[in-house]
Amino acid sequence: MSRPIQILWRVFFILTGLGFLIIALANWGVFGEMPSLDELENPSASLSSEVLASDGTLMGKYYLQDRSNIEFKDLAQNSIHALVATEDERFYEHSGIDGIAVARAIVNLGNEGGGSTLTQQLAKNLFTNYSGFAPLRVLQKIKEWIIAVKLERNFTKDEIIALYFNTVPFGDNVYGIRNAARTFFQKEPALLTVNESAVLVGMLKGNTIYNPRRDPRRSQQRRNVVLDQMVKNKYLTKEEAAVIKVQPIPLNYKKLEENDGIAPYFREVLRDELKKWCKENKKANDKPYNIYRDGLKIYTTLNPKMQLYAEAAVDRHLKEMQRYYHSLSYIKDGSIWKGREAVIEQAIKSSDRWRNMKAEGYEEDAIRASFKEKTPMKVFAWNDAKEKDTVMTPLDSIKYHKTIIQTGFMVMDPFTGEVKAWVGGIHHKRFKFDHVNLQTKRQVGSTFKPILYAYAVENGYTPETPLPGGPIRLGDKIIDGSGGPMAYCLAYSKNPGAVHLINQFGVKSVINFAKEAGIQSEIPPFPSIALGSADLSLFEMMHSYTMFPTNGISSQPIYITKIEDRNGNVIYTNLPKQKVVMSEAAAYTMCKMMQGVVDFGTGRRLRGMGLTMKMAGKTGTTNSNTDTWFMGYTPQLMGGAWVGCDDPFLKMTGEGSRMALPIWGYFFSKAYSDNTLGLQTDADFIQPASMKVESIMDYENFAEKYKNEPDAENEDAGSGNADDFLLNEDAELIPDDPNTQAPTKEQETENKIINEAINDKKSKSTKQQ
């Protein structure tokens, strides 16, 4: 053998040995960590977590990469054929590496396509990161070959195709064919046509340049290339392909963004709850769960129909209220902002405009000047788009958006605690602040009175117990107004009666009872809480009211039923959390008394709206109509509404019965008209079997007697100013009237007689029970 040939053989064996050595070193992880056998058998891609309604409806997702998995059986054959024909013609013939394709790629320097098989592409998607640096890319390619062979050993061809479809990107931060089918065509992958499958597979060559949303012409050209490949590989006939080629792309694009989908305010509150849960719970590998990567399925209690009805009720009512509010003179002429310079200054410095111009190096004077220059912009509007184009100064835009009326509305099942609807505001895209959750607190006004009255009933008071009228002292304030039987005082929200009760029982005992009922926030230990001076959340007010229709059982609101991992294993379950907080007899008595609110008292507007079912509730309004409330329930369902502006000095145009109650009414009217929800208009509150007949309120006669009383709704406003409340022992409950005198000796004697009658009534009631 000649010397040149010997040298040639030596070079061949050296290069071959070097090649094997490089492959061995790569397999051992010398050039970068290789996936373990466990990781190969359980490949992990970043999966979006899905939030599901009570009926399984997809409400929204949490993700960094929007990806959802699918099994092979749920793929359309059209998609499989298009993929194999276009990306890997010999997929069913090789074991991970296609020697013919590799040789072709080397000879043609990649000009006629690369040599990567579907399995190699899957290996790259799952376990390696692309590098443009040639030497590193060669090492990555070797690693991909090794991983591809291992994948072929661990998975069937069908499983590899499913894994591939689950990991590939389709542009617009959409990953996996399930999300691609939903986003581009609004259908599940199994229903994709040949046309649609060819479009999606065509995007894999370049998901930006061949995106049908961005460039329909190029996408159509690429689709036709895929159809030609399907003809070449005998998945289609030429005639079938020709028919499809002249068809347009049936694009039906809609991407589910964070502001889209059902209950966006609820999903943001849920996101924070889930983040906390993930930190406290770990996977089998001892790492905490991640809502953006681990593909969790979160099953919630929200009812999609009820949620839509709740949102519609808010829209219907506040649209009209906003039109009237913006017509008020002090809003139109801007006088409402007099003396509120600090509020505007804070809003200016919190704006994106201020932050961005600061970051760009503008002087403060220039930034302030820009807020006074008229600029084309979009602002919130009560139309279908929830916005309109206009020209105004950024400063006027701040003032305009601050005068937009906000709301919080929540619906739940008082027996299970399951939250059925959650409307945290009027439009999540524009106004992110949620007004339902536990952290958002406003003065509750007279909606606190039922808690006080419930404590009184629990301690022997009855609906007929007389409560004195004013003047009556509350700390250093004098409260005026009429008195009467307790049921009458609650129905018409008489302030002196509530003051009398807090004076009788003491602040501490009432606070303790409120805590038992479900109030979690700190309640200031002042008598003014009787008229609702405490700042509480709608969420906890709903919790506290559950004791009434359930015969004394408090049900904590819950909105998650279970959580599953990406493999469908249940990793968390949530059961109702309940406890008895008052007697059945007292709860039923409160139901009957609170029926008076809606049948003839401050909430009688509901009957005027055509609602005929049994219902009970309480209106609430704070001083100057800053906060307006309505809390109400039927024998099956409960709802609570708050209406106001985010800045407390912006007063509403009416009391709770006008501003908040109609939302409740519109929702319950719609919900009870929907037979699929299982709500019964003839359902009644359950009378305890143990309740003595003589202690049951003669409601019909009582209602007939007092239904024509003059409206006492103005007395519903009485919680005082929050700032004054924090500074003084007692809130400024009602404006001091210089003509109002302290109780005379005669009035004090009369009140003493009434108190003796009350004590006698309490004693008799206690003996009866």
Higher pLDDT, 509 or 39: 509
Percentage of the chain beyond pLDDT 70 is: 79
Higher pLDDT, 658 or 760: 658
Task: Give SS3 for 74.
Answer: helix
Q: Which of 279-283, 616-620, 747-751 has the lowest mean pLDDT?
A: 747-751
Higher pLDDT, 116 or 44: 116
pTM: 0.76
**What pLDDT, on the 0 to 100 scale, is given for residue 740?**
34
Whole-Å CA distances, 390 to 101, 234, 394, 484: 59, 58, 11, 55
Q: Which of 337-351, 464-478, 506-520, 525-539 has the lowest mean pLDDT?
A: 464-478
Task: Give SS3 for 380.
Answer: coil
Assess whether pLDDT exceeds 60 at residue 750: no
**What pLDDT, on the 0 to 100 scale, is given for residue 141?**
65
Assess whether pLDDT exceeds 60 at residue 208: yes
Q: What is the mean pLDDT of the chain?
A: 84
Higher pLDDT, 220 or 725: 220
Average pLDDT over residues 169-196: 92
User: Are 164 and 118 a contacting pair, CB within 8 Å?
Assistant: yes
For residues 696-711, one letter each, b for 16 or more C-beta atoms within 10 angstroms of the residue's C-beta and e for the rest, the string is bbebeebbeebeeeee
**What pLDDT, on the 0 to 100 scale, is given for residue 767?**
42
**What pLDDT, on the 0 to 100 scale, is given for residue 723?**
29
Which residue's entry shows tokens 């009658």? Answer: 757
Closest CA to 124 of 143, 138, 105: 143
**What pLDDT, on the 0 to 100 scale, is given for residue 495?**
94
Amino acid at 319: K
Task: Give SS3 for 490.
Answer: helix
Q: Which of 16-30, 71-85, 234-248, 536-550 has the lowest mean pLDDT?
A: 16-30
State the Cα–Cα distance between residues 159 and 142, nearest whole angstrom. Answer: 23
Higher pLDDT, 284 or 305: 305
Assess whether pLDDT exceeds 80 at residue 747: no
**What pLDDT, on the 0 to 100 scale, is given for residue 284?**
85
User: Are 530 and 539 a contacting pair, CB within 8 Å?
Assistant: no
Q: Burial of 480 by CB count in 10 Å (0-12 exposed, 13-18 middle, 19+ buried)?
A: middle
**What pLDDT, on the 0 to 100 scale, is given for residue 532?**
93
Strand partners, 406: 644
Closest CA to 274 of 563, 575, 569: 563
Higher pLDDT, 391 or 710: 391
**What pLDDT, on the 0 to 100 scale, is given for residue 486?**
94
Token representation of residue 391: 């020209």
Assess whether pLDDT exceeds 60 at residue 481: yes
**What pLDDT, on the 0 to 100 scale, is given for residue 29?**
56
User: Are 64 and 293 a contacting pair, CB within 8 Å?
Assistant: yes
Average pLDDT over residues 518-522: 96
Assess whether pLDDT exceeds 70 at residue 489: yes
Average pLDDT over residues 526-537: 94
Assess whether pLDDT exceeds 60 at residue 732: no
Higher pLDDT, 717 or 396: 396
Residues 212-242 have pLDDT tens digits of: 998 999 999 999 999 999 999 999 999 999 9
Residues 6+ apart with CB under 8 A from 89: 229, 233
Residues 265-289 have pLDDT tens digits of: 999 999 999 999 999 999 888 889 9
Amino acid at 352: D
Residues 660-684 have pLDDT tens digits of: 999 999 999 999 999 999 999 999 9
Residues 6+ apart with CB under 8 A from 301: 54, 418, 419, 420, 558, 559, 560, 561
**What pLDDT, on the 0 to 100 scale, is given for residue 155?**
87
Residues 46-92 have pLDDT tens digits of: 788 999 999 999 998 888 777 778 899 999 999 999 999 999 888 98
State the Cα–Cα distance between residues 11 and 568, nearest whole angstrom. Answer: 55
- Counts for the chain of helices (H) and strands (E), in that order: 30, 22
Residues 6+ apart with CB under 8 A from 32: 26, 128, 139, 143
For residues 300-315, one letter each, b for 16 or more C-beta atoms within 10 angstroms of the residue's C-beta and e for the rest, the string is bbbbbbbbebbbebbb
**What pLDDT, on the 0 to 100 scale, is given for residue 458?**
95
Instruction: Tell me how many degrees the CA angle 478-479-480 measures, rounded to the nearest 5.
Output: 120
